[in-house]
Chains A and B, each alone.
Chain A
Amino acid sequence: MEIILAIMIGGLYAAAVYMILRRSLVKILIGIVLLSQATNMLIFVSSGITRGNSPVIKAEETVLSQPHADPLPQALVLTAIVISFGLTAFALALTYRAYKSVKTDDLDKLRSAAMGGEENV
């Protein structure tokens, strides 16, 4: 199971890097989303996948029953998902706003705007 997930993560990273290297802003954003998903999966897998009990101490016991899954990576992933959700939403809004003021989503044409040029072409 870990092998399959590892290959999948690698594929996600490859796709993310490919998309980030594109010139279109929207495609870069898709790349960023893929990148954060790949990272989330990486955290999830890196501490090992255990088939076992849930990490909750039962009423009559004082310690966790072995084997149990490690709950922390999932908490980390949850935090990371929330943060990347917010950031992606902001990045989308920014892209839209940039598109409206610069009238292009091509990065090469955007450069002229950064240089203070008024030309769009």
Chain B
Amino acid sequence: MTNLLVAPILIPMLFGILCLLSFKSTRLQRILGFVGTIVLFCASLGLFFLTLKHEILVLHIGSWPAPYGITLVSDLFSAIMQLLTSIVGLAVGWYSLAMIGEQRTAFGFYALFHFLLMGVNGSFLTADIFNLYVWFEVMLISSFVMMALGGERAQMAGALKYVVINLISSAIFLAALGILYGIAGTLNMADLAVKFSQIDSNSSRALISALAVLFLAAFGIKAAIFPLFFWLPASYHTPPAAIAAVFSGLLTKVGVYALIRVFTLIFIQDTGFTHTLILVLSCLTMLIGVFGAMVQHEFRRVLSFHIVSQIGYMLMGLGLFTPLALAASVFYIMHHILVKTNLFLVSGVVEYLGKTADLNKLGGLYRSQPLLAILFLIPAMSLAGIPPLSGFFAKFNLIKTGLLESQYWVVGIALIVSLFTLYSMIKLWNQAFWKPAPPLSPDVPVVQEKVLCKPMILPIVLLASLTILVGVGIGPVFEIAMRTGVQLFEPARYITAVLGGL
């Protein structure tokens, strides 16, 4: 039964290889690419419910026992993340059928897409920190190629920045791993947690704190937290919307996942230092992201800055570090992945219809595409935190925790940022949908076709209805998040599950 744990890694690999084998036929690649995401979704759903039943599933690869071999673990957090990955995979795989051109498909978009999903799922499921590095690299190399795929001028510039900053972050991660192994002599995360809890000399403690900051920097670059976020708004608007949607939905969230995993399992000796630092950084991330978004005048740049701002909310829960706070963070990630991916998908359709992403040149979409306008409004209002959508509950729980912990200034910042998020979303709404269409310049042809029946609109409907569903069915969903938060806060069960009787 636990063998199902490898399915979310093996299925994308299999379909990636199949896509490569059918390299000559773009039609076959499209079919395989889409079918692969459906199969992955079914397997992930299965693993999710299995984990929900058994709390923690452990698989020792090759039957090598825990600290020696590589272990895959699906606790509730991993299970939620890999399920969300497959949902994003399904939505974007579907969307790409319409929005990824013939040329990019011929250069292997679907193969790369599946390898990316494999890397992301691997990162979520592994319980070995060096293995996490390897999965990061699998994910990164696919994302590099996807970023540069097509080779437009702006894309090249964006891809270069993205590649260089990620290589630096990988080097920092690797250096941290080396030092970590030097201190503890193990790379299994559960074993590391045990070893670190036994360390009592002051000098080693200081070294561990330094190491924690090194990990914070490495994962912080990937998660785009303040002050390491500059690469994200500089690159996420350059590739096609489908690719930007996967990146925005999944890649930064892998960084957040790694941060939460490492800072709830391994580095919990000196929470007064590390978690306060995370809390301060999260506040700055929220503020800078939302202020950056205010001055932007391009659809996807506004959204990119909002990713940064939202990352701050996710880390706020980690910084507060109580079971409820972690649950709120997990719920925030769930909400954010669904909503942000959806907004990027909508931005792709807007660019397709308006032939530009510049907000000043867009307009009048509400008149010509009322359905699309509504579909934009749902995730946008959810992002801003309007009840009864998922974003309201995500923010509500974080703010409730902040008040319970008497961190009033953090709560204040979160509320202000929420207000500015609403401002930004209304700006997008006014500029792209509500205001009358600007006079057409002769080189921009008018698109009069209806987008209703195209496959590009259906995944947006899917994700939007999930957002509503999560908001309306908040009870059971938050209960799962709460169980996850408790599980993350008390890693003892994770450790015994991985290490067995040791």
Distance of A62 Cα from B170 Cα, bound (Å): 39
Among the listed B130, B140, B163, B164, which residue makes an inter-chain contact with A76, where contact means beta carbons less than 8 Å apart? B130
Size category, B interface = 35 or more
Cβ contact within 8 Å between A102 and B168:
no
User: Could you say which residues of chain A place their CB within 8 Å of the CB of B238?
Assistant: 114
Cβ contact within 8 Å between A76 and B181:
yes
User: Could you say which residues of chain A place their CB within 8 Å of the CB of B151?
Assistant: 97, 101
Among the listed A47, A87, A90, A95, which residue makes an inter-chain contact with B182, where contact means beta carbons less than 8 Å apart? A47
| CB of B158 within 8 Å of the partner chain | yes
User: Could you say which residues of chain A place their CB within 8 Å of the CB of B154?
Assistant: 113-116
Cβ contact within 8 Å between B153 and A76:
no
* B 158-188 contacts with A by CB, 8 A: 158-161, 163-164, 167-168, 170-171, 174-175, 177-179, 181-182, 185, 187
Q: A97-B151, A116-B154 are in contact. Are A91 and B163 (CB under 8 A)?
A: yes
Minimal Cβ-Cβ distance residue in A for B186: A72
Cβ contact within 8 Å between B174 and A94:
no
| CB of B4 within 8 Å of the partner chain | no
Q: Which of B141-149, B304-312, B325-333 contacts A (4 or more CB under 8 A)?
A: B141-149
* B 111-170 contacts with A by CB, 8 A: 130, 134, 137, 140-141, 144-145, 148, 151-154, 156-161, 163-164, 167-168, 170
Cβ contact within 8 Å between A47 and B181:
yes
Minimal Cβ-Cβ distance residue in B for A20: B168
Cβ contact within 8 Å between A91 and B167:
yes
Chain A interface mostly: helix
| CB of B234 within 8 Å of the partner chain | yes
| CB of A69 within 8 Å of the partner chain | no
Among the listed A43, A91, A111, which residue makes an inter-chain contact with B177, where contact means beta carbons less than 8 Å apart? A43
Minimal Cβ-Cβ distance residue in B for A41: B178
Cβ contact within 8 Å between B157 and A111:
yes
Cβ contact within 8 Å between B145 and A39:
no
Distance of A44 Cα from B160 Cα, bound (Å): 30
Q: A73-B181, A111-B157 are in contact. Are A97 and B148 (CB under 8 A)?
A: yes
User: Could you say which residues of chain A place their CB within 8 Å of the CB of B163?
Assistant: 90-91, 94
Distance of A79 Cα from B187 Cα, bound (Å): 14
Chain A CB within 10 Å — which of B153, B157, B160 has the most?
B160
User: Could you say which residues of chain B place their CB within 8 Å of the CB of A28?
Assistant: 164
| CB of A80 within 8 Å of the partner chain | yes
Minimal Cβ-Cβ distance residue in B for A110: B157
Cβ contact within 8 Å between B168 and A32:
yes
| CB of A56 within 8 Å of the partner chain | no
Cβ contact within 8 Å between A46 and B179:
yes
| CB of A42 within 8 Å of the partner chain | yes
Minimal Cβ-Cβ distance residue in A for B134: A79
User: Could you say which residues of chain B place their CB within 8 Å of the CB of A35?
Assistant: 167-168, 171
User: Could you say which residues of chain B place their CB within 8 Å of the CB of A52?
Assistant: none
Cβ contact within 8 Å between A48 and B167:
no
Per-position 1/0 for B342-382, Cβ under 8 A of A: 00000000000000000000000000000000000000000
Cβ contact within 8 Å between B137 and A83:
yes
Per-position 1/0 for A60-87, Cβ under 8 A of B: 0000000000101100100110010011
| CB of A98 within 8 Å of the partner chain | yes
Chain A CB within 10 Å — which of B161, B171, B238 has the most?
B171
7 tightest A-B contacts by CB? A43-B178, A46-B182, A114-B157, A98-B156, A113-B157, A46-B178, A35-B171
Give 4 new A-B contacts, CB below 8 A, not counting A48-B182, A79-B130, A83-B134. Answer: A32-B167, A47-B178, A97-B151, A97-B156
Residues of A within 8 A of B (CB): 20, 25, 28, 32, 35-36, 38-40, 42-44, 46-48, 70, 72-73, 76, 79-80, 83, 86-87, 90-91, 94-95, 97-98, 101-102, 110-111, 113-116
Q: List 26 A-B contacts (CB under 8 A).
A: A38-B175, A39-B171, A39-B178, A42-B175, A44-B178, A46-B179, A46-B181, A47-B181, A48-B182, A70-B185, A72-B187, A73-B181, A76-B130, A76-B181, A87-B140, A87-B170, A90-B141, A94-B160, A98-B157, A101-B152, A113-B154, A113-B156, A114-B158, A114-B161, A114-B238, A115-B154
